Structure 1
Amino acid sequence: MSTESIGLTTISRTVASLAVGVVHTLERAVVGEAHMRTARGNAWEAVCADRAKADQRAELERLVAELTATRASRPTD
C-alpha cells in the first residue's frame, strides 16, 4: 500500500481552484455571458481611463495658463 501525504499547499491550491470556479460560474449566472469581463475589455477600460485623465490634465493646464495670462495682463495697483 502506498501512503501519499497531501500537503497543506496542495489543499490550498485545490480550495483556491474551486473558489475560482465558483466565482466564475456565479459571475456568468449573475451578469450573463455577454457582460463577462475579459482581458481585452479590461485593457480597453484602462486605455479609456488614461485618455480621460490626459484630457482632464490638459484642461487643467489650459485653465492655469488662462489664469496666469489674466493675472499677468492685469494692471498692478
Structure 2
Amino acid sequence: MSTADPTTTIGLTTISRTVASLAVGVVHTLERAVVGEGRMRTARGNAWEAVCADRARADRRAELDRMVAQLAADRRQRERQPVS
C-alpha cells in the first residue's frame, strides 16, 4: 500500500531547493578535487582570515592617524615660526 497521494505535485520551490542542493554538492566536490583536502576553506579558516583583515585595517588606520597628527603638528610648527 502506498502512502503517497497521487495528486501531490512537485512545486517550484521544491525544484529550486533540489537544484540548489545539487549545485552546492557539485561545487563542494569540485573544490575538493581542485584545491585538495588540506586547502579546503573552513569556518575556522574564514574566521582567521577575517581577524587578520581586521588587524590589517586597524594597522592602516593607525598609520593614517599618525600621519595626519604629524602633518597637523608640522603645520602648527610652521604657523608659529615668524615670517622672514
Q: Give TM class, smaller chain.
A: over 0.9
Per the alignment, residue 73 of structure 1 pairs with 77
Which residue pairs with 1:6 in the alignment?
A: 10
Bigger-Rg structure (1/2): 2
TM-score of the aligned structures, taking structure 2 as reference length? 0.85
TM-score by length of 1: 0.93
Pairwise CA RMSD: 1.3
Percentage of pairs with the same residue: 75
Equivalent in the alignment of 1:41? 45
In the other structure, the counterpart of 2:20 is 16
Matches within 5 A, 1:21-36: 21-36=25-40
Gaps of 5+ in 2: none
Moved over 6 A (4+): none
**Corresponding residue SS for 1:6:** coil
Structure 1 gap ranges (5+): none
